Structure 1
Amino acid sequence: MTAPPALQDVYGVPIPPGRPLAQGRHADLLTLGEVRGQVAKVYLAPPPPAQAQKVEELVKVPPHPDVARRLVWPLAALYGPNRQLAGLLLPLLPPQQFQGVRALLRADTRRRSFPEADWPFAVRVGRELALAFAELHAAGHHMGDVRPEHALVSDAGEVRLVGADDYALHLAGRDFAGPVASAEYLPPERQRVGSATGAGADAESDAFGLAVLLFELLLGRHPYAGIQARGAAPGPGEAIAAGLFVDAPQAGPGRRTAPGEWPFAALPPAVQALFVQAFAVPVVPRPSPETWAAALGALAAELVPCARRAGHWQVPGLPCPSCAAEREGPAPSSGEDVTARVQRLWNDVQRVVAPPPSPPVAPVIEAPPLPPLPLALPDKPRGLNHRQQLQLLTWTLRVAVLAALMLGVGLVQRSVLAGLVVPALIVFALTLGRRFAVDWDGLIDRYERWEHDLVRGLLPRRGPQQRYRRAVRRRRAEVKTELAARVAQREELRERYHVENAAALHLREQQALEQRRAHLLSLSAGGSLEALLGRWRERSRQDYLRQQQLSSSGVPGVGPRELGLAVAQGIRTALDVTAERVRALPAPLGRELLAWRRGLEDFFQFDPGAVPRAELNAVQQRGQQHLGDEIETFERAVHAYTNARWDRHEAEISRQLGVVEREIEQYKKALSELRAIKV
């Protein structure tokens, strides 16, 4: 996604493009660097003269008051080098709020993009879409190229029509046709002209495309997509041109809706009649957007929640479409008997009375304290202990040093020089000695280290006092370790109480049973039937795409020249359209081909009847056996739940806590006694 080298407005003021927002078939959507609330739609290739003239007239005319609310009208034209039309300036719709309506047309994309959307939401969006078409027609315009990319929807169900430069517009007294049209939404009369052109757009053409969009919104499938007679696999354009409406009252033999799709019978008769009128052959006047808006408003008021399944909706007196699709789907459900059996077991679970809330702190069973812990020390030796021996040797050494000094001074005083040496030392210390920095603290430290090493060396290392001292220290370490282990065990028991008390145990086992129940209700009796059907569905899809030949009349914007470019890259069928192959083609052509394949994939319907019966039977037998084993396991779990004693762990935890608490007190007292021993 790249922008032109330069963009400018009609006055030549440069408009710097920003980051990309989205890709379209013929243009990219970009933010603007310094402009908020607006975006740039930049064409991938210069538009032809007729289209460029339409865009020039489009930006000159302000939006009609009837379409100003639901139609995103261009603000100005954008130009590239040499004043060539390069795109449009549009108001910005917040991408966090608005998404393409295509995401609502199929169940899988609806769950991803609109997880909260239900059937009433789809009906409301359909009504808003019909009102938007009515406003567009009231302003004298037609969409012409009806397709999901031309409508955005918000999480609140608001609809905005976009891509006005592709519409069939009436501007300045002239009619401007759209550049292309999509075969999936073209009426039969325009299919004969060819879907590559936008000529022939009128209110009847829009009415047909709107009816197709509404059918997809309400039932999640294309009205012409289904199982055709004799294994035929027409594309959407061929099916529409041949009038192969699957739910037509006089549908031919062998034509039917694919299993697992929402049934046409779930719609009210009045809405069914409107669809039959819209897709009738021969063509009759089709319902107008105003008629659709009124009918869908009435349908939205009729919808009620399904009595069988939460989240499902239905019209009173008509089948629930979701339940009907589940019952008639290609993968059989677990069956009414299994559902009833599981529900009976669940009723037994719900009859169990929950225990009262447990105390926040685990109770401790009171018991007499334990006797004092044996210290297991050897007999204390007689005489001085280690500390007393250290003190005795230290003071003995100090007295000896002091006596030696005094003796030395006495000997010096008897000599002739004593009267001269001692006064000289005193005078030197008081006069010249002050000029020298003497580290008295260092001298004292060195003396103390010498004294300490000497005393330690004089003490006996293997005497009874030393052995007793080592035994006391070793016993202290053992008691500390045991005390820490008992404290950790107490915390572990308290945590275990929070998990295994009666209320917590009851809640946890009830939740486990609820998960098993949900698993059983959703479990297919076919076991791996979904995987088998998935393989055959993919095989059938590839066969269908292989049968769709690329032609200049089947893909919008593809003429003989573009067809030659595609064939040169090995693209002859829809199956050949891959991201790798279209990368070598011009961007507009590549995007048209990818959109063509995506539309065919959405149109494709899988027929489970193509799966060999022998494979289905084998898989279903294995699934039935697996389902029976799962139900038996669930029955045993329910029986254990209904006969459980929820306080079975509380008493044991309280007993163990009492033992641990007494042991902690015992070890604390022993440690205090050991610390009181002076060694």
Structure 2
Amino acid sequence: MQARVDQAGKPVILPQKLAQGGEGAVFTVEGRPDVVAKLYSSAPAPEKIAKLEAMTGAATAGLTERTAWPLEVLRRPGRGVDGFLMRRIVNAHPAFTLTGPALRKRTFPDRDWGFLIGAARSASSAFDAVHSAGHVIGDVNPNNIVFNADGDAFLIDCDSFQFTEGGHTWTCPVGVTEFQPPELQGQADFSRIIRTPDHDRFGLAVLIFELLFLGKHPFAGRGASPQTGDAIRDYAYVYGRHWPYERPPLTLPPGAVPPALLTLFERAFSREGTGRRPAALEWTRVLAQMNLDLTSCSVSPLHRYWMQAPGCPWCEIEKSLRQPLFGEAPRREVVRKRRVPAGLQIGEEPRPAEQKMTVLWEHFRTILPAGAPPIPPALPPLPTPSPGGVEAGKVRQLSRYATIVVFGLALAVTHMVFDAGLLTDGAIFLLACLAYYRTGSRADRDAMAVLRKCKKDYAQFLAGLNATDAGEFNNYSENLTNLHQKWLEVSEEEEALLRECVKQARETGLRRFLSNQRLEVATIPGIAQDEKPPITGAGFRTAADITSQKLNQNPGLEVVTQKRLLTWRESCERRFVFEVSHVPPDQISAIAKDYTRRQRAIQSAFEMELAEFKIAKAVIVENREDAMQNIRIAGNCLQAARSEAKARRLV
């Protein structure tokens, strides 16, 4: 058990060690299950302490949602800072457990390619949270990015990020070769380098590539240097469209992913893309649409692929590998078979229409709900105002001081020379107020106008984000669910009709069979031959005539005789053998024809609704991303306008 004090001097009890690393250890925090404490093995340097204290002051909702950002520094009682509190991220695994098929099948055994696409999109959102706050990750690598069972990405080891506050930048001293861009390859000391978001974007692109291409590195292939760092420095992107390199065998072909995604990879990994690599939000948009455009393989339930691909690429790769790429789930048919009596000739099974409808339904189920609008990003810190604004503020302040002095002198003169009264004093005070709060120069008026406009724009964009609710999306989802339920009901009705056909055919066959069992020639235990004429005379000539109702209507027959007749009929029924092939084919054909007509109508409506559903989801995603981007831009403008107005002493 460890004990520390927080920034307010309150004791913090750390009862249990959760993990041990090279830099220090992570502990639970008593009474706070949502956070953990990181304690350094050796006392951090003053520069590191200053960085931690600055980072805790810069924590925002956007950062804490996606990262294990330092929240509060911890001190050993009587000594200095030696740790900090951060968000606790539970049941999460490093990125390398997702990129490689072997580890992924053990860690996430039931996850498919759609899950990996969603994970890549979530990682992009995490990068965007850091970059939007004005910081740089620096050491992008698969150990510092973790994913939970839902595919949500979180960034850890945030105390090593490159962080800027108050004009001072604390650099990130480390970097992994495989995730550093060409311009930083061969660097021996990263602590001397100020990195940019564009450097991070290269690492993000590598991570996304490894997630989607199942662990393959974009710069590892035939013709490229065997040393990954050298291949990156040479811009040897082996999957590129215009490069003399060859991708490794048994990898996802370029035609299996959308052209928009390939374009982003080209920009990220080419020489021409340096300095303008795709931002995190660009990846988010393309990956979101890509996840909407997946379809399910008819052979394996864990094979999902881009619907415009020529076929399931995973089946082709697995044929050569002779082992599954996605878990160990047994192959199955993804169609619902009809539950009908055995032996009934119902035609092709499964029927193509049923197979297509089931695939459509499986595709619908893979589309994640839109959910509530995201939480808007926090406003950035106030930027540095313009030199002109600072100078104008100084002049305004001096002018106000002068106004106060002149006001005092005016009051003194009027009282000493003119013996002024309250009315004169009030007039002088009013003039002084007007001078103190005067509108100022044209530049000051423009600055206030800009501030008012920025406030209005920011409020409008916030309202626009809240307006991107999922109402229409949810309506489509409900309609699709109802259509699928109708489809199932029609199938169940067909099954019920087929069972009724069999039942009626059996009853007809049984009646015919019993009608051929003549009482006068049958051997019935307990009924002699000379006792039969009165029975046949009463209308009981065959086994079909013998029913409890008819026997009760003939009181002339003894009860014992009635029981013996019923027993004989039952023995005849047991000898009856029914063949389902005797069901009239025209009846089956009529039921199947009606079923097909109704199912096709539902399937057609489902396909149209599904297309609208996907468009609605894409529109919501795009609108929200646009709204978030607009909010960030408007927030930056608002803070810039506030800084300028504050510098000019206008607010």
Q: Quickly name the TM-score band, shorter chain normalised.
A: 0.3 to 0.5
Greater relative CO (CA pairs within 8 A, separation 6+): 1
Tell me which structure has the larger Cα radius of gyration: 1
